[in-house]
Amino acid sequence: MKPAATVLQSTHLSFSEFAGQSGQWKNSVLGSLCFSHPSQFAGQDNFDHLSGPPFIQVPMSIIDGADCCCEIWRSQTALTQGQRGALRYRCDNETLFGVMVMPEVPAAPSEQNQQTPLQHATESAYRQIFALLDELDYPFVLRFWNYMADINGASHGLERYHQFTLGRQDAFLACGREVIGKVPAACALGYTPAMAQNPLIIAVLAGRTAPLAIENPRQMSAYRYPLQYGPRSPSFSRASLVSLGQDALLFISGTASIVGHETLHAKDVVAQTRETLANIKAVLDEANRQSGQPLFNLANLYYRVYVRHVADMLLIREEMQRSIGAEFKAVFLQADICRPDLLLEIEATAGHSLTLSGAGRGKP
């Protein structure tokens, strides 16, 4: 029997390659995350925000030679698009991709709460997302991507990542979403302040098929972290595994050198890379166990590697080559990690059709 067509695809192109695609090709795009220094987005006006695919710029510089990398999610079926508030989206019969940019503005004075501007922006953004998913009947979030300015900075007496975590969980609870157990894969990274109002940038991929939330036996679940890591625990799973047709898709959350709940190998980027890959391998083993098949391994993932210090990139890549092989697929970005003692974070995807053009590879 001929296998079912892949429902969801991820393509990686440079910005110029993306912008140069035909209108018919762009009509198949659910949405895109593009990473580059803001000065390299002179061609962004090629995308009409009202009629084009949901497209969002993340101001993070690529540090492995490419000018820009766009992760483009595509569908092989007819698409519908729209906008609700700040959220722009496209969807097919099975999946929805949405993007939004939320400026950090204080809560209204009439609101008798102590929310910081980032906490308020986060709760508002997530409430809008959940409202749309409920309205359009895409109840299951497969993956969140979150990017904010100065993630390790402090204001209003609280680290900014913890402000984000508070706002996210407030929205989860207000919208009747679980905060323990069946929570989506996610990442939260910091970019260098470079945009007006330093907005919170969020992308979401949701669907109508319930994913399996995958945890890592080497780590405490993030939603059970003790109070030393902030007033609320983060609301994400280590990975999401979902079946679409005959395809199994795995979304691995931002993963770092944490065992149990503690950071290991402070100031040693090579050891942190090795520990991070051991955690990813443990997640793959658990995903394979739950699926009942050896579907995933380190060599068939597409990696996004967030690096705190640009000078560490070559050491990280060399350690990844030793663990994975020379031909691993990855893009390396300069970013701040949620804990100040973490030097890198790696996220990954697998199981769908990956095509690479203008994206980084493992070998120099």
> How many whole angstroms separate alpha carbon 186 and alpha carbon 90?
20
DSSP helix/strand/coil, 89: strand
- Tokens at 101, concatenated: 């940019």
Task: Dump the DSSP string for 258-289.
Answer: EEBTEE-STT-HHHHHHHHHHHHHHHHHHHHH
Q: How far is CA 130 from the centre of its chain?
A: 17
Q: Which amino acid is at 350?
A: A
The pair of structure tokens assigned to 306 is 């967030």
Q: Report the distance separating Cα 290 and Cα 128, nearest Å.
A: 32
Name the catalytic one among 159, 275, 319, 345.
Answer: 345
State the burial class of residue 56 (Cβ atoms within 10 Å of its Cβ: 0-12, 13-18, 19+).
buried
The pair phi, psi for residue 86, each rounded to 5°, is: -85, -5
Q: What whole-number distance in Å separates Cα of residue 239 and Cα of residue 222? A: 11
Report residue 342 as tokens.
Answer: 């973490």
> Computed from CA positions of residues 335, 338, 343, 349, in that sequence, does the dihedral angle turn out positive or negative?
negative
- Residue 143 near residue 205, CB atoms below 8 Å: yes
Encoded amino acid at 185, one letter: A
Is 345 annotated in the active site? yes
CA distance 21 to 25: 6
For the record, the structure tokens of 34 come out as 């593009």
Contact 60, 70 (CB under 8 A): no
DSSP code for 339: S
By annotation, the residues acting in catalysis are 345
